[in-house]
């Protein structure tokens, strides 16, 4: 029998690599061969790449050896130029080796892949790494709602009703719709993506979500064939079929795992885990407020603070109260987040609501305190609070900051006996439903 052969092509960023690699592992488990394709610069930095029979890596030069500059159009173009050539070579070589490519699976910032796949006469499928609801929103924006959204995106009383979705106000929109949007070109990529999908008859969209979570959103667009294939989470924390699969395996940062012993020493549901993902950077003033709030909670915490790459002087301000922070918690530059969230000691997740973080929090059954930054994150925060009812959203002060007191208020509400009972119960329910 001919072995299925998938090219899984990932945009070179952590939030894309993790679900893509996890999907690759799933394909291998059903006996397929996977060639995992990303840029050289990302591949070189991947610290713990899985070495599995049936999985080969085919990195290509993206022409930007210092690593991806997300949102930089030059980089996106270079990726297209180099990536098109690399994929073409791979498809041709595979056919010559009698390992014909069955399907090319790609992420949303690689909008050029479906056209290339058509030219190469190979089927393609989008691996959508955000919730189905967000794909729906982009679809409707480019299909009749652009004017109404653009006219009202600054009006706090405006409320948008879309099929299969909760009512959305401006603070719930993907950030690219807002007047403050600095990523107009990103919106143009979404336009291209939707247009490409519409060119196909019932385009295949594989969504990193699950039926129970997004039944209506998955069916909102008749034109697409949206299938929930998530949650894309290491098997050890989901179905247990592969107990050795405990991490995604594509970490772009390496770190010691000292924090695991520390977590294991803490009582059940006692620790606050804080992380704002890989693409956002909080201001030093904001970080200070987060630190103040965490200290005031008087609970153990694990806080991921990215190593600053510039302005070391400002960083000193955080380090100044590091001694005090260390009395209650740990501050680390990186951790294996999925392992942390699934540790029984975690009682609350303070998150930026990147979709991977959100779905990891749901699978772990941990209630969330949300502080969305950009992209799909505001919509994800809305779903967490009002649809799945498993968390709260932090309010901003007049200066646009989340103050320490606000963080303390939300963490306490979520973690304490009565106030958070419903949210904690819902979190446990999603944990069960995620397992199917």
Q: What are the residue numbers of the active site?
A: 16
Q: Binding to ligand UDX by residue 356, rule CB under 6 A?
A: yes
Q: How many residues bind ligand UDX (CB under 6 A)?
A: 23
Query: Minimum distance from CB of 252 to ligand UDX (Å)?
Result: 9
Q: Identify the residue among 282, 304, 342, 348 touching ligand UDX (CB under 6 A).
A: 304
* Per CB under 6 A, 337 contacts ligand UDX: yes
* Closest-CA residue to 53 (of 39, 33, 81, 70): 33
User: Rounded to an integer, what distance in angstroms lies between the CA atom of residue 283 and that of residue 275?
Assistant: 14
Q: Which is nearer to ligand UDX, 102 or 358 (CB)?
A: 358
Q: What are phi and psi of 126, to 5 degrees?
A: -80, 130
Of 278, 343, 345, 390, the one binding ligand UDX (CB under 6 A) is 278
Pick one of 172, 214, 245, 376: the residue that binds ligand UDX (CB under 6 A).
376
Tell the smallest beta-carbon distance from residue 15 to ligand UDX (Å).
3
How far lies 295's CA from each of 246, 340, 341, 369, 401, in Å?
31, 20, 21, 16, 17
Nearest-CB residue for ligand UDX: 354
Footprint (CB under 6 A) of ligand UDX, residues 125-154: 129-130
Region 9-68 residues binding ligand UDX, contact defined as CB under 6 A? 14-15, 18
Q: Which stretch binds ligand UDX (CB under 6 A): 1-9, 39-47, 135-143, 372-380?
A: 372-380
- With CB under 6 A as the contact rule, which of the stretches 219-227, 232-240, 290-298, 329-337 interacts with ligand UDX? 329-337
- Binds ligand UDX by CB under 6 A, chosen from 60, 176, 273, 334: 334
Minimum gap (Å) between residue 303 Cβ and ligand UDX: 10
Instruction: Classify strands 368-370 and 391-393 as parallel, antiparallel or unpaired.
Output: parallel
Q: Which of 321, 329, 374, 323 is nearest to 347 (CA)?
A: 329
Binding mask 377-406 for ligand UDX (x = CB under 6 A): x-----------------------------
How far is CA 199 from its chain centroid?
Answer: 27
Question: Is 275 a binder of ligand UDX (CB under 6 A)?
Answer: yes
Sign of CA dihedral 80, 86, 92, 97: negative
Cβ closest to ligand UDX, residue 102 vs residue 278: 278
Identity of the residue, 354 or 404, whose beta carbon is nearer to ligand UDX in the bound complex = 354
Q: How far is the CB of 3 from ligand UDX (least distance, A)?
A: 29
With contacts defined by CB under 6 A, name the span among 52-60, 308-316, 356-364, 392-400 that binds ligand UDX.
Answer: 356-364
Which residues make up the interface to ligand UDX (CB under 6 A)?
A: 14-15, 18, 129-130, 275, 277-279, 304, 334-338, 354-357, 360, 375-377
């Amino acid at each position: 029998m001919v072995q299925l052969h998938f090219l899984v092509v990932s945009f070179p960023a952590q939030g894309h690599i993790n679900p893509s690699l996890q999907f690759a592992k799933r394909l291998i488990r059903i006996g397929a061969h996977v060639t995992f394709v990303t840029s050289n610069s990302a591949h070189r930095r991947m610290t713990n790449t899985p070495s599995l029979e049936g999985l080969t890596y085919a990195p290509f030069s993206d022409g930007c050896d210092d690593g991806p500059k997300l949102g930089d159009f030059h980089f996106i173009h270079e990726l297209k130029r180099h990536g098109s050539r690399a994929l073409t070579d791979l498809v041709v070589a595979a056919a010559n080796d009698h390992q014909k490519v069955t399907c090319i699976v790609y992420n949303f910032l690689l909008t050029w892949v479906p056209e290339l796949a058509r030219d190469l006469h190979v089927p393609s499928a989008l691996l959508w790494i955000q919730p189905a609801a967000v794909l729906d929103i982009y679809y409707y924006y480019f299909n009749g709602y652009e004017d109404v959204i653009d006219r009202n995106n600054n009006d706090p009383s405006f409320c948008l009703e879309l099929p299969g979705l909760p009512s959305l106000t401006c603070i719930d929109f993907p950030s690219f719709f807002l007047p403050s949007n600095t990523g107009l070109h990103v919106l143009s990529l979404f336009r291209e993506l939707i247009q490409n999908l519409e060119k196909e008859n019932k385009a295949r969209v594989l969504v990193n979500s699950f039926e129970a979570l997004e039944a209506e959103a998955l069916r909102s667009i008749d034109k697409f064939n949206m299938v929930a294939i998530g949650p894309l989470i290491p098997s050890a924390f989901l179905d247990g079929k592969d107990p050795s699969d405990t991490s995604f395996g594509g970490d772009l940062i390496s770190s010691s795992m000292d924090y695991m012993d520390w977590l294991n020493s803490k009582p059940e549901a006692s620790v606050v885990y804080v992380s704002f993902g890989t693409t956002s950077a909080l201001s030093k003033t904001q970080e200070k407020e987060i630190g103040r709030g965490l200290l005031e909670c008087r609970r153990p915490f694990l806080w991921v603070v990215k190593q600053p790459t510039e302005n070391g002087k400002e960083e000193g301000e955080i380090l100044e109260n590091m001694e005090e922070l260390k009395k209650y918690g740990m501050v680390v530059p990186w951790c294996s987040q999925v392992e942390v969230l699934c540790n029984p000691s975690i009682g609350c997740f303070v998150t930026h609501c990147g979709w991977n973080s959100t779905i990891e929090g749901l699978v772990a059954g941990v209630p969330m305190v949300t502080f969305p930054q950009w992209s799909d994150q505001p919509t994800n925060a809305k779903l967490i609070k009002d649809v799945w009812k498993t968390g709260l959203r932090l309010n901003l002060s007049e200066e646009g900051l989340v103050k320490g007191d606000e963080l303390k208020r939300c963490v306490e509400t979520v973690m304490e006996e009565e106030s958070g009972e419903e949210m904690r119960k819902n979190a446990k329910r999603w944990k069960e439903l995620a397992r199917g």
